[in-house]
Structure 1
Amino acid sequence: MAASSHTAPPLLTLVRHGRTAHNAAGRFQGWADIPLDDTGHKQARLLAEHLTEHPVTPTRLYASDLSRAAQTAAPLAINLGLQAVSTPALREIHIGRWEGLTFTEIESLDAGALQAWPLKGAPGGESIHEVAVRLRSWLDALDLTRDEHVIVVTHGAAITALLCNLLDWDYAEAWAEHRGAHENTAFSTLTLDLPITCHPLACAAHLHVRPLR
């Protein structure tokens, strides 16, 4: 269908969830269902205030079914008047037997496996490429139309995986360079036209304009 001059390509805003106690302690979370801590809830409120003022009004809101993502999406749903639709397709990279461990603990158990991760999955977990395929399959099934703005609340490694897929980044290079790494509640907005573009990337301005309260 030919595009109208009065319509714009769909926008996709990828949001990382707010902080959890595991984030603060440097522990791997994966599919473990860890809720937001007090700071995470404050971050989520600041994010909601910021995205409510976005020049392109969001039309859909999705979140990982893990509680830290659902809790981050909750203030957005209230502010935007949207229902947050949860799905396991948006979960973080599965890290199997590493859940709850720190980098130091994993390195002492299996330094070689940690060095190969996430290009190679953790024991019982997923690789970053497998995560990208999972999220891209979900995104393609949305059948977005022009002028839509979809907000997706998900997880750090999951966002990197999907950015690599959509922007044709090399997975190994992007991970090694921390390209597009998102702090808690940082977001990236992609214009889903060919070529796909991303602006802003890993924006966390809402966390720095005023103190958390």
Structure 2
Amino acid sequence: MTDPGVRLVLVRHGESRWNVEDRYQGQEDSGLTETGATQAEVVAEVLASRFGAAGLVLSSDLPRARDTAEPYLRRIGGTVREDARLREINVGTWTGRTRAEVAAAHPDDIAAFEGGVDIARGGGETYREVRKRVWAALDEAAAETNGTVEAAAEATGTVVVFTHGGPIRVATAEALGVPAPGERAFAPVLNCSYTVIHHGGPDGPHVLVAYNAPTTAGSRSTRVE
């Protein structure tokens, strides 16, 4: 049977308190702001309208992603499966510090990173490491959903994934075959934007259908993960 492919809809979480304060968040969590909670309601309506009830809903296990998923789950009457592999990049000792504070304390690391060196910021992860874990999670989800689609003789299955800016950029780069750290060339991801990748199965090809599509006015974008 011809592989029908799977539509991956990747959604960045709503605005968080540390987004507003320009702090590195990594794998800690500061909670959604009031604006972020509103953004989650808006993106839920957009997702339900454009993509309907996804066959599978995944989320990072960090609260800001799970909380963003809740309004969509209410609308479709669905459940979510958490996957720690969809977490934001680990930024180690930079976590909770502002961009200005880190720039003052670690100018050489910042210069290397901005120059395209894939360093483990704050002793955390590199983007190559993040790409490996994120894409493994998406590959597995696509394979699972594709099996369900084939059994139902449908054309395309949909997986909605609530995650973070870093994972969305590395997943986009992986889908397009852009070697690390090529994800740095992609625009910072807006809060509650969505990115759509058509996953073509284990042998591809994968197709980028939409990147960073905004759903709310005034959404925040940042390279401070």
Same fold (TM over 0.5): yes
SS in 2 for 1:184: coil
Match of 2:188 among 145, 162, 181: 181
Correspondences of 1:131-142 after superposition (within 5 Å): 131-142=130-141
CA contact 2:52–2:76 (8 Å) conserved in 1: no
Please report how far the alpha carbon of residue 57 of structure 1 lies from its aligned counterpart in structure 2 after TM superposition: 4.2
In the alignment, which residue of structure 2 is the partner of 1:88?
Answer: 84
Correspondences of 1:71-110 after superposition (within 5 Å): 71-110=67-106
Correspondences of 1:1-213 after superposition (within 5 Å): 2-3=1-2, 8-55=4-51, 57-117=53-113, 119-142=118-141, 143=143, 144-145=145-146, 146=149, 147-175=156-184, 177=185, 179-193=186-200, 194-204=204-214, 206-208=215-217
Aligned equivalents of 2:91, 2:166: Cα separation in 1: 11
Please report how far the alpha carbon of residue 159 of structure 1 lies from its aligned counterpart in structure 2 after TM superposition: 1.0
CA contact 1:62–1:152 (8 Å) conserved in 2: yes
Q: How high is the TM-score relative to the length of structure 1?
A: 0.88
Aligned equivalents of 2:182, 2:132: Cα separation in 1: 18
Aligned AA for 2:60?
S
CA contact 1:180–1:201 (8 Å) conserved in 2: no
Please report how far the alpha carbon of residue 171 of structure 1 lies from its aligned counterpart in structure 2 after TM superposition: 3.2
Aligned equivalents of 1:56, 1:50: Cα separation in 2: 9
Please report how far the alpha carbon of residue 195 of structure 1 lies from its aligned counterpart in structure 2 after TM superposition: 2.1
SS in 2 for 1:123: helix
Aligned equivalents of 1:44, 1:55: Cα separation in 2: 16
Aligned equivalents of 1:71, 1:123: Cα separation in 2: 27
Deviations along 1:81-102, whole A, 9 cap, x unmatched?
2101112111000000000112
Please report how far the alpha carbon of residue 56 of structure 1 lies from its aligned counterpart in structure 2 after TM superposition: 5.7
Please report how far the alpha carbon of residue 73 of structure 1 lies from its aligned counterpart in structure 2 after TM superposition: 0.4
Aligned equivalents of 1:183, 1:171: Cα separation in 2: 21
SS in 2 for 1:153: strand
Percent of aligned pairs with the same residue? 27
What stretches of structure 1 of length at least 5 have no aligned partner? none
Corresponding pairs, count: 202
CA contact 1:59–1:82 (8 Å) conserved in 2: no
Please report how far the alpha carbon of residue 122 of structure 1 lies from its aligned counterpart in structure 2 after TM superposition: 1.1
SS in 1 for 2:191: coil
Please report how far the alpha carbon of residue 126 of structure 1 lies from its aligned counterpart in structure 2 after TM superposition: 0.3
Aligned AA for 1:30?
G
SS in 1 for 2:71: helix
Aligned equivalents of 1:129, 1:110: Cα separation in 2: 21
Distance 1:39 1:121, change over 3 A: same
Aligned equivalents of 2:209, 2:187: Cα separation in 1: 11
What stretches of structure 2 of length at least 5 have no aligned partner? 150-155, 219-225
SS in 1 for 2:121: coil
Aligned AA for 1:128?
Y
